């Protein structure tokens, strides 16, 4: 194999699916498109593309097919694209660079993932009636005056989605008349000028690293990637992997991998439970972001300052002396607890006011006043993020679901001094007790990424996350009552590895507001719970010390607790799966000082499977240069 030293080999591997198209080279080029030669730089083994020019003409390329959708009623249509200007494809409604359709049906906005050097994998995942026939799929562009960009596209694929894998798998070329004639081949791992050999990277492994690349998280190196791939193979072999809904590995022997450790391995591209209720949160040009009062200035995308990410996307506000308010209205609450967060910076203002108001009841829920010079805020939290910018938040815990709320950003009614200037960026109102990662939105509210969320005074080190006993905890964003597929009322398990024992009564896992679905450390306790109310186990079990711990429910009565290599059979009646996110390193409003290296939730697993997992995780830790602590 000859390597092109001018190409940066940084592939994303999609494995596991099947291309249902009978012949995915058989484009019918309809309007104003052409087939051209093109180098896809190894992402697909093709040397041509369909080119869409850049003038204002409707363009379409259609692929005929005759595929019956069975049995699950969802499909994924995917392709590879490169914009001729090398930039990211636009997904702004009304300003799309391109879209997908099937059966000349609705236009769907594609998701996209950057593979490097301007090449993107793009896809849609849509519901379709089981048994329906797809007669054609197409790449479509209805050019408006604002979107006259040209691009090249190829590698079209149609496959069936499933509940855990809702993103495209490896591109498979097909040529014959029958469906799915292509098959996956091993890939070659390349680093610099060294060929490491042909290996099959699991689809599941590939998606974990694809998520890291999408989020720009620092990821493990190539050697560690292969260790992880082998670990997942062994977890599949012993029957543990596919029994899990939630799978977090925290121990990598590298503090730089803290964000990578937040990825849920079993559903890396899923959505979490936290939702930004503010629409157009990255578009201050939208009229919903108002500043009333004659002469008062709102200047979106100001050039006077850069935003925290270095872009010119912040919004400037300036008070010119006329009574008015800066606010967004009509935000509908979906939780009794709401947190309003926003980034802000002073131009000339000494202070500014940020408020959450219930417009249905005309009650002000919370007002935070920032002092830019002191870096303080009343009734809220503040974080200095550099270059004069602060991230602030205020939280209200007595909100009413379904009521309409307003958020104010600076001027809550002539509270500023004449010619005060301040800037804001990335507003968010979320169904959460704390401010979390920003979630961009367009015309609708959006849920964020399915990541483990970190709050309070956690520390991260070689073996994982450690609580501070005061306010530090991890929100898994996994609500088993809503999101559990394997984790059910009478068939469930939770498993974790401790590298530090926080001592007597240290809180390890449970529900933020109650003593449900919980364990904590004691020499002997009956008060550990899995899908039961506050009823205790039939006998005590030891929960102190480091190592692997597992809690398994096999039926409405039978439960097992595993401490390392010892199993304790107990009984306690199941009652319900409480509808709340599982949290780690705390529960019931009290926080622990344990250190945790991994955490899993899923269906019931056997003692043999648990011991097999224990051996697998110990081998992986050793591969990372860590002690075998499980």
- Give tens-digit pLDDT for 294-316: 999 999 999 999 999 989 999 99
**Which ranges of 185-274 would DSSP assign to H, the alpha helix?**
203-215, 222-237
Give the whole-angstrom CA distance, residue 24 versus residue 156: 6
Q: Which pLDDT value is given to residue 206?
A: 85
pLDDT at 104 over 80: no
The pLDDT tens digits of the residues spanning 352-380 come to: 999 999 999 999 999 999 999 999 999 99
Residues in a beta bridge with 356: 366, 407
Q: What is the pLDDT of residue 73?
A: 64
Residue-by-residue DSSP string for 387-434 = TTEEEEEEEES---TT-EEEEEEE-SSS-SPTT-EEEEEEEEEESSSS
CATH topology of domain 202-272+449-629: Jelly Rolls (2.60.120)
Indicate the range of 79-93, 112-126, 149-163, 506-520 predicted with least confidence: 149-163
pLDDT at 64 over 70: no
Average pLDDT (25-53) is 71
Instruction: Encode 541-575: b = buried (16+ Cβ within 10 Å), e = exposed.
Output: bbbbebbbbbbbbbeeeebbbbbbeebeebebebe
Average of per-residue pLDDT across 477-502: 96
> Among 25-39, 66-80, 211-225, 483-497, which stretch is predicted with the lowest mean pLDDT?
25-39
Does residue 260 have a pLDDT over 80? yes
- Residue 114's pLDDT band, with cuts at 50, 70 and 90, is confident
For β-strands 326-332 and 363-371, DSSP reports them as unpaired
Q: Which CATH class is domain 46-161?
A: mainly beta
pLDDT at residue 571 tops 80:
yes
* pLDDT at residue 162, as a whole number: 52
Q: What is the pLDDT of residues 531-541, one digit of tens each?
A: 999 999 999 99
Helix (H, G, I), strand (E, B) or coil at 630: coil
pLDDT value, residue 179: 38
Q: What share of the chain is helix, strand, coil (3-state, %, to 5)?
A: 10, 40, 50
Structure tokens at 370: 């920032």
| Confidence category of residue 614, pLDDT binned at 50, 70, 90 | very high
Strand order in the sheet with 133-141: 28-31, 59-68, 133-141, 99-102
pLDDT of 438 over the 60 cut = yes
pLDDT above 90 (res 89)? no
Residue 494 has pLDDT above 80, yes or no: yes
Statement: residue 178 has pLDDT above 80: no
Instruction: Give me the residue spans of the domains in the chain.
Output: 46-161, 202-272+449-629, 276-447
- The least confident of 17-26, 237-246, 403-412, 590-599 is 17-26
Q: What is the pLDDT of residue 348?
A: 97
Kindly indicate the confidence band of residue 274, based on its pLDDT and cuts at 50, 70 and 90.
very high
Nearest Cα to 138, choosing from 27, 69, 61?
61
> What percentage of the chain exceeds 90 in pLDDT?
61
β-partners of residue 498 are 547, 596
pLDDT over threshold 60, residue 96: yes
Distance from chain centroid for Cα 487: 20
Helices (H), 241-289: none
* Interatomic CA distance for residues 241 and 152, integer angstroms: 38
pLDDT-based confidence at residue 24 (cuts at 50, 70, 90): low
SS3 at position 570: strand
**In the prediction, which pLDDT does 16 show?**
33
Give residues with Cβ within 8 angstroms of 347, minimum separation 6. Answer: 304, 305, 316, 318, 420, 421, 422, 423
Average of per-residue pLDDT across 493-500: 98
- In the predicted structure, residue 166 carries a pLDDT above the cut 70: no
Please give the radius of gyration of the chain, using alpha carbons only, rounded to the nearest integer. Answer: 27
Closest among 197, 77, 187, 79 to 128, alpha carbons compared: 77
Are the folds of 202-272+449-629 and 276-447 the same? yes
CB atoms within 10 A of CB 37: 8
Q: Pairing mode, if any, of strands 290-291 and 271-276? A: unpaired
pLDDT band at 66 (very low <50, low <70, confident <90, very high): low
Q: Is the pLDDT of residue 135 over 50?
A: yes
pLDDT band at residue 509 using 50, 70 and 90 as cut-offs: very high
Cβ within 8 Å of residue 618, ≥6 positions away: 628, 629, 630
Q: Which of 212-221, 381-390, 493-502, 572-581 has the lowest mean pLDDT?
A: 212-221
Taking CA 424 as the corner, what is the angle to CA 394 and CA 421, rounded to the nearest 5 degrees? 115
Task: Give CA–CA dist 561/612, Å, rounded.
Answer: 16
> 570 near 560, Cβ under 8 Å?
yes
20 band by pLDDT with thresholds 50, 70 and 90: low
- Checking if the pLDDT of 286 tops 70, the result is yes
Q: Is the pLDDT of residue 620 over 80?
A: yes
Tell me the per-residue pLDDT of 323-356, one tens digit each, with 9 for 90 and over. Answer: 899 999 999 999 999 999 999 999 999 999 999 9
| pLDDT recorded at residue 98 | 79
pLDDT grade, residue 197 (50/70/90)? very low
Mean pLDDT of 174-178: 50
Residue 44's pLDDT band, with cuts at 50, 70 and 90, is confident
CATH architecture under which domain 276-447 falls: Sandwich (2.60)
Sheet architecture: strand order including 119-127: 33-37, 48-52, 151-160, 74-83, 119-127, 111-116
- Kindly tell me if the per-residue pLDDT of 434 is higher than 50: yes
Longest dimension (CA), the chain: 75
Average the pLDDT over 262-276 and give the result. 93
Nearest partner of 139 among 122, 117, 120, 160, judged by Cα: 122
Indicate the pTM of the whole model: 0.68
Query: What is the rounded distance in angstroms from the CA atom of residue 509 to the CA atom of residue 489?
Result: 18
The better pLDDT of the pair 108, 113 is held by 113
pLDDT band (50, 70, 90) for residue 594 = very high
Q: What is the mean pLDDT of the chain?
A: 85
Q: What pLDDT is attached to residue 423?
A: 98
Rounded Cα gap, residues 21 and 102, in angstroms: 13
Sheet with 376-377, strands from edge to edge, namely 290-291, 326-332, 404-410, 351-358, 363-371, 376-377
């Amino acid at each position: 194999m000859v390597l092109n030293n001018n190409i940066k080999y940084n592939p994303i591997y999609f494995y596991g699916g099947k291309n249902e198209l009978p012949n995915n080279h058989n484009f019918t080029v309809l309007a104003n498109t052409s087939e051209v030669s093109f180098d896809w730089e190894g992402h697909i083994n093709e040397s041509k593309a369909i080119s869409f020019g850049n003038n204002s003409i409707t363009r379409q390329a259609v692929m005929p097919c005759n595929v019956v959708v069975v049995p699950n009623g969802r499909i994924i249509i995917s392709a590879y694209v490169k914009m001729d200007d090398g930039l990211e494809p636009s997904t702004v409604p009304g300003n799309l660079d391109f879209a997908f359709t099937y059966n000349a049906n609705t236009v769907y906005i594609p998701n996209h993932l950057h593979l490097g050097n301007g090449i993107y994998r793009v896809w849609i995942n849509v519901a379709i009636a089981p048994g329906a026939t797809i007669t054609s799929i197409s790449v479509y562009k209805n050019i408006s005056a604002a979107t006259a960009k040209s691009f090249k596209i190829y590698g079209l694929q149609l496959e069936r989605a499933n509940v855990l894998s809702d993103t495209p798998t490896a591109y498979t070329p097909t040529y014959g008349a029958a469906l799915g004639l292509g098959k996956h081949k091993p890939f070659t791992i390349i680093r610099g000028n060294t060929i490491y050999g042909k290996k099959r990277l699991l689809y599941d492994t590939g998606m974990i690293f694809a998520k890291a690349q999408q989020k720009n998280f620092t990821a493990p190196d190539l050697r560690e990637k292969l260790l992880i791939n082998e670990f997942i193979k062994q977890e599949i072999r012993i029957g543990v992997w596919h029994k899990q809904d939630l799978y977090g590995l925290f121990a990598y022997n590298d503090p730089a991998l803290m964000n990578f450790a937040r990825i849920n391995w079993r559903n890396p591209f899923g959505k979490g439970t936290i939702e930004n209720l503010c629409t157009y949160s990255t578009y201050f040009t939208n009229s919903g972001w108002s500043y009333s009062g004659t002469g008062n200035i709102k200047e979106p995308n100001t050039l006077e300052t850069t935003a925290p990410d270095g872009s010119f996307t912040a919004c400037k506000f300036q008070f010119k002396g006329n009574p008015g308010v800066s606010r967004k209205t009509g935000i509908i609450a979906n939780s009794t607890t709401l947190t309003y967060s926003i980034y802000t910076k002073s131009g000339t203002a000494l202070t500014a006011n940020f408020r959450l108001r219930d417009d249905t009841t005309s009650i002000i829920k919370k007002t935070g006043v920032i002092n830019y010079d002191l870096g303080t805020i009343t009734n809220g939290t503040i974080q200095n993020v550099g270059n004069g910018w602060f991230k602030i938040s205020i939280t209200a815990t007595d909100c009413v679901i379904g009521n309409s709320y307003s958020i104010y950003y600076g001027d809550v009614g002539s509270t500023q001094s004449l010619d005060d200037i301040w800037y804001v960026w990335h507003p968010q109102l979320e169904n959460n007790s704390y401010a979390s990662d920003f979630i961009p939105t367009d015309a609708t509210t959006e849920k964020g990424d399915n990541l483990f969320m970190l709050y309070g005074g956690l520390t991260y080190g070689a073996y994982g996350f450690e609580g501070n006993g005061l306010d530090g905890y991890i929100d898994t964003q996994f609500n088993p009552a809503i999101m559990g597929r394997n984790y059910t009322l009478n068939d469930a398990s939770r498993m974790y590895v401790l590298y530090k024992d926080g001592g007597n009564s240290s809180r390890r896992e449970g529900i933020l507001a109650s003593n449900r679905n919980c364990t904590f450390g004691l020499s002997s306790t009956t008060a550990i719970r899995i899908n039961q109310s506050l009823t205790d186990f039939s006998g005590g079990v030891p929960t102190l010390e480091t190592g692997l711990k597992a809690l398994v429910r096999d039926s409405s009565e039978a439960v097992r607790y595993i401490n390392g290599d010892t199993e304790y059979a107990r009984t306690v009646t199941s009652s319900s799966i409480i509808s709340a996110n599982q949290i780690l390193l705390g529960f019931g409003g009290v926080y622990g000082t344990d250190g945790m290296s991994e955490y899993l939730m899923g269906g019931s697993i056997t003692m043999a499977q648990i011991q097999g997992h224990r051996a697998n995780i110990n081998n992986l830790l050793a591969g990372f240069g860590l002690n075998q602590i499980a």
